[in-house]
Amino acid sequence: MRKKFNSYSLPQWARQVRLVSVQVIIPITIFQGIRTIFFPTTFDVLLLAILLFLACALHLEWI
């Protein structure tokens, strides 16, 4: 059985980077979603999928 991830075991700078990225990823994802609706290219769709995965992973604390 895997040990539960403990964010307090990370160094202070890594915790700070994670907290900032959680706050920044949602507005960037929303902007990319709007951009993808108006200008759908393959790159935009792939970037939106990556951003959505990162947002979910950070919100559910997978990363």
Domain ranges of the chain: 13-58
* pLDDT tens column, 16-41: 988 898 899 999 999 999 999 999 99
pLDDT greater than 70 at residue 60: yes
Cα 37 to its chain centre, rounded Å, is: 20
52 has pLDDT over 90: yes
- Measured CA to CA, the distance from residue 15 to residue 39 in angstroms comes to 35
- Residue 41 per-residue DSSP state: -
User: How open is the CA angle 8-10-13, to the nearest 5 degrees?
Assistant: 110
Instruction: Say whether pLDDT at 53 is over 70.
Output: yes
Confidence of residue 3 (pLDDT cuts 50, 70, 90): low
What distance in Å separates the CA atoms of residue 24 and residue 30, rounded to the nearest whole number?
11
| Angle made by CA atoms 54, 8, 24, in degrees to the nearest 5 | 30
pLDDT in tens, 7-18: 677 788 888 988
